[in-house]
C-alpha cells in the first residue's frame, strides 16, 4: 500500500486543542531543564543550526510545539540533531538547548512515557 501513489496525499489535519493537551511531559521537561521556560522565540538557535541548513529540522518550532503540548511525531523530528551545541552557544536567554534536546528524546522515547501514547 505504501508504494501506491495516487498523485495526491492526504495530510493529517493538525490544530492545537489546549483542552485535550496533556501537560505532564511538558512539566517533566521543565523540571529537568528549567531554562526551557525562558525562550522568547527569537530563532537564533535555528539560524545557527547545521541540521537546519540541510533538512526540515527546526528546533525553535519543536520547542514551541512541545511548549504547546503537541508531541506528535516529535521524536522523529528531533532525529537530524547532531548535538553539536551551537544553539546553546547563541541563545540570548541562556536556554540549555542541548540538554533540552537530550531530555526531549529521553522523555518521548521512554517506554514508561507519562502520557502512555
Q: Which residues bind other proteins (CB under 8 A)?
A: 14-19, 30, 34-35, 37-41, 60-61, 64-65, 67-68, 70, 93
CB of 34 to other proteins, least distance (A): 7
Helix (H) or strand (E) holding 51: helix 50-54
CB of 86 to other proteins, least distance (A): 21
Residues 4, 7, 13: CA angle, nearest 5 degrees: 90
Whichever of 35 and 48 has its CB closer to other proteins, that residue is 35
Instruction: Tell me which residue has cell 522568547.
Output: 40
Residue 4 burial (10 A CB sphere; 0-12, 13-18, 19+): exposed
CB of 52 to other proteins, least distance (A): 16
Whichever of 93 and 106 has its CB closer to other proteins, that residue is 93
Q: Residue 65 corresponds to which cell in the numbers above? A: 510545539
Whichever of 38 and 84 has its CB closer to other proteins, that residue is 38
CB 22 within 8 A of CB 69: yes
Whichever of 67 and 105 has its CB closer to other proteins, that residue is 67
Amino acid at each position: 500500500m505504501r508504494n501506491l501513489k495516487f498523485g495526491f496525499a492526504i495530510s493529517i489535519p493538525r490544530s492545537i486543542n489546549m483542552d485535550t493537551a496533556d501537560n505532564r511531559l511538558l512539566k517533566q521537561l521543565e523540571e529537568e531543564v528549567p531554562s526551557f521556560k525562558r525562550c522568547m522565540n527569537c530563532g537564533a538557535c535555528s539560524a545557527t543550526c547545521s541540521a537546519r541548513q540541510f533538512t526540515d529540522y527546526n528546533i525553535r518550532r519543536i520547542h514551541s510545539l512541545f511548549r504547546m503540548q503537541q508531541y506528535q511525531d516529535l521524536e522523529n523530528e528531533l532525529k537530524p540533531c547532531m548535538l553539536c551545541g551551537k544553539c546553546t552557544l547563541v541563545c540570548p536567554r541562556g536556554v540549555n538547548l542541548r540538554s533540552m534536546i537530550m531530555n526531549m528524546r529521553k522523555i518521548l522515547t521512554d517506554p514508561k512515557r507519562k502520557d502512555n501514547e
